[in-house]
A and B are shown apart, each in its own frame.
Chain A
């Protein structure tokens, strides 16, 4: 039975490997070198990393408590909130961007926020806000599943042994849900890093200001600089891969630690 599964595995692996390979085929090492030494691309990479880290931090702050409540409590309107949180997953990012543009625009929040000295539209903050809107639901979804998988008996045991509810959450629930939280964070981060449509609308495509790496790719494709665009996408891909591996490695080393008896 299992041996039958190897064929799809091989096909899938080849398919997933072929696309980056095809991309690499069209870029010369010289072009990659040109890309990583271009001030514009380096700025875009830096901006992409900063805004995506901001977006993931915001998503964690908002998503983890939300996920915990959705997993553990029943309250009025829970089903509606649950559906609402899935909405960004099916929304075209460009439309999400238009929505955010209206929300943070002059007619809605824009003026009030400008009086507080906070400008979201056409700034890196806008990019981070757009990425949070797209990434937070993904993170919340994974975290919720992770919390639901934690056996309540352990939490109850912790409480019986005299731990306060907050210590139960920090010492029992969080460590047990760790794997799910980490994979949720990885997914959300990857999504934020590659986010294009919503960011484009809210932040604009201003080079050296709001052009993140995906926007830079788009600008370079539009101006016919295919080589530079592909080199950019390789920089993006590589940073994604490094990110994925480091987070997976953190997850694994912790797991070993747990298996060895520590908590």
Chain B
């Protein structure tokens, strides 16, 4: 009898402990690392929940979520990945957070040679783009060039394709290429070494950064609390500090 009572008590204590302090597994697009790191630290301090941050490219995270069948929340750099999981019934709820906008980053030393999107077609300009199949921004760049009817003239200027956006950012920041189409936030991070040239609105589709609770979430209350936290107006301000733009 005493043993049973003890078991019940310890069970209660354990379940209470897990109700008050949950551990959340949060899949986050690698490009969102800086603001999310800061926000999650705040969240942990305020709530006592523990958040395991799992950063990687959206496509690879998608593969891991599908393969593992685990995890609580997912915040990729593009809504595209949420759509894919929605089709498989793996999204409980999602919320838009901020905009992910492509820009042209130009090495400071080449600032007077590249001032507009059209300048990318000038002979001799060395451009870095993302691989159109493996990188969302690579696909975006091709779409932009197609819409601006510049693809045929610009493509011969591509001297290298990258597999990650940080790789492209490094190339342009180091001056190994003259320009690259990267995320506004990536260019913002290196704003002392690259100039940011906006791309005309008619050529771009602004990507929405969403945050979703997965159907595999183990502690729903804590997961929703984190979702609320990273999509709150205060959180959006933190994102803006790192070069993201608010959604219109």
User: Could you tell me which A residues sit within 8 Å of B by CB distance?
Assistant: 98, 101-102, 105-107, 110, 121-122, 200-201, 204-207, 210, 215, 218-226
Q: Check B63 against A105 for contact (C-beta < 8 Å).
A: no
B77 in contact (CB, < 8 A): no
B 124-149 binary contact with A (CB < 8 Å = 1; else 0): 00001001011100000000000000
CB contact between B174 and one of A107, A200, A221, A223 (< 8 Å): that residue: A107
Q: A105 contacts B131, CB within 8 Å?
A: no
The answer to whether A207 touches B160, judged by C-beta atoms less than 8 angstroms apart, is no
In contact, A210 and B163 (Cβ under 8 angstroms): no
Q: Are B163 and A215 in contact (CB under 8 A)?
A: yes
Q: A205-B162, A215-B163 are in contact. List 10 more A-B contacts (CB 8 A).
A: A101-B170, A101-B171, A106-B175, A200-B167, A205-B131, A205-B160, A210-B160, A220-B134, A221-B60, A222-B57
* B170 / chain A contacts, CB cutoff of 8 Å: 98, 101, 201
Query: What are the residues of chain B within 8 A of A221 when measuring CB–CB?
Result: 59-60, 63
By the criterion CB–CB under 8 Å, are A222 and B176 in contact?
Answer: no
Total A-B residue pairs with C-beta atoms closer than 8 Å? 69
Q: Do residues A101 and B176 form an inter-chain contact, with CB atoms below 8 A?
A: yes
Residue contact A207 to B174, C-beta cutoff 8 Å: no
Whether A205 contacts B163 by the Cβ 8 Å rule is yes
Closest Cβ of chain A: how far from B33's Cβ, in Å? 16
Asked if B161 lies at the interface with its beta carbon under 8 angstroms from chain A, I say yes
- Does B53 touch A at the CB level, under 8 Å? no
CB–CB B63/A219 < 8 A: no
The answer to whether B174 and A219 touch across the interface, beta carbons within 8 angstroms, is no
- Determine which of B134, B167, B175 lies in contact with A105 in the assembled complex, contact meaning CB atoms within 8 Å: B175
Does B160 contact A219, Cβ atoms closer than 8 Å? Answer: no
The minimal Cβ–Cβ distance linking B93 to chain A, given in whole angstroms, is 24
Q: If the complex has contacts A101-B170, A223-B59, A226-B63, are A121 and B176 also in contact, measured as CB distance less than 8 A? A: yes
B62 contacts partner chain A, Cβ-Cβ < 8 Å: yes
Residue of A nearest to B159 (CB): A122
CA distance A37 to B60 in the complex (A): 26
CA distance A121 to B160 in the complex (A): 9
Give chain B's interface residues, CB within 8 Å of chain A.
57, 59-60, 62-63, 128, 131, 133-135, 158-163, 167, 170-171, 174-176
Q: CA–CA, A73 to B42, complex, Å?
A: 59
Residue of A nearest to B126 (CB): A122
Query: A92 CB to closest chain B CB, in angstroms?
Result: 15
In the complex, chain A residues whose CB is within 8 Å of the CB of B57 = 222
Tell whether, in the assembled complex, residue A222 and residue B59 are in contact, meaning their CB atoms are under 8 Å apart: yes
Which residues of A have CB within 8 Å of B163? 200, 205, 215, 218-219, 222
- When C-beta atoms are compared, the residue in chain A nearest to B58 turns out to be A222
Q: In the complex, A204 Cα to B138 Cα: how many Å? A: 14
Q: A200-B163, A205-B163 are in contact. Are A110 and B60 (CB under 8 A)?
A: no
Q: How far is the CB of B110 from chain A (nearest CB, A)?
A: 11
Q: Residue of B at shortest CB range from A108?
A: B174
Beyond A121-B176, A221-B63, A224-B63, whether A206 also contacts B134 by CB under 8 A is: no
A141 to B128, CA, bound (A): 38
Q: When the two chains form their complex, are residues A219 and B176 in contact, meaning their CB atoms are under 8 A apart?
A: no
| Beta-carbon contact of B174 and A205 below 8 Å | no
**Residue from A205, A219, A223, A225 whose CB has the most chain B CB atoms within 10 Å:** A205
Contact present for B175 and A107 (CB under 8 Å): yes
4 tightest A-B CB contacts, nearest first? A204-B160, A222-B134, A223-B133, A122-B160
Neighbour of A223 across the interface among B134, B158, B171, B176, CB < 8 A? B134
In the bound assembly, the distance between CA atoms of A110 and B175 in angstroms comes to: 11
How distant is B47 from chain A, measured CB to nearest CB, in Å?
34
In the assembled complex, the Cα of A130 lies from the Cα of B63 at a distance in Å of 29
A224 and B62: CB pair below 8 A? yes
| Residues B131 and A219 in contact, CB atoms below 8 Å apart | yes
Residue of A whose beta carbon sits closest to that of B84: A224
Name the distance in Å between B66's Cβ and chain A's nearest Cβ: 10
Whether A201 lies near B167 (C-beta < 8 A) is yes
A223 contacts across to B, CB distance below 8 A: 59, 131, 133-134
Which residue on A lies nearest to B139, using beta carbons? A223
Looking across the interface, which residue of chain A has its beta carbon closest to that of B59? A222
Q: How far is the CB of A241 from chain B (nearest CB, A)?
A: 27
Determine the distance from Cα of A225 to Cα of B60 in the docked complex, in whole angstroms. 11
Q: List 11 A-B contacts (CB under 8 A).
A: A106-B176, A121-B176, A200-B163, A204-B160, A204-B161, A205-B131, A205-B162, A222-B133, A223-B131, A223-B133, A224-B62
Closest Cβ–Cβ distance, residue B187 to chain A (whole Å): 19
Residues on A with beta carbons closer than 8 Å to the beta carbon of B60? 221-222
Chain A residues whose CB sits within 8 angstroms of the CB of B161 once the complex forms? 204-207
Q: Which of B57, B160, B170, B175 has the most CB of A within 10 A?
A: B160
Task: Please judge, given known A-B contacts A219-B131, A222-B57, whether A105 and B176 are in contact too, CB under 8 Å.
Answer: yes
